[in-house]
Amino acid sequence: MHTLFDRGYLSVDPRHRLAVSPRLRDEFSNGDEFYDRQGIRIEVPSRRLDRPHKDFLEWHRDERFLAS
């Protein structure tokens, strides 16, 4: 999952829900296990300090996520 996130095929919205790029299916003809989880809230650390920073998640969605 980490590699898919780094390459822009997965992302996380501000409410910590999983976003899956349609390009995962288009480019690799797979990813059903991720599409089944799209929109589901991911588990985040209980300590707020350990959670992903909202600015980084926003940057990732704007700059790395393969939205189309």
* pTM score, whole prediction: 0.88
Report pLDDT digits (tens) over 45-66. Answer: 999 999 999 999 999 999 999 9
Position 30 pLDDT exceeds 90: no
Mean of all residue pLDDT scores within the chain: 94
- pLDDT surpassing 90 at residue 68: no
Looking at the chain, the whole-number percentage of residues with pLDDT higher than 70 is: 100
Residue-range domain boundaries for the chain: 2-63
User: Taking 90 as the threshold, does the pLDDT of residue 31 lie above it?
Assistant: no
| Token representation of residue 63 | 């700059």
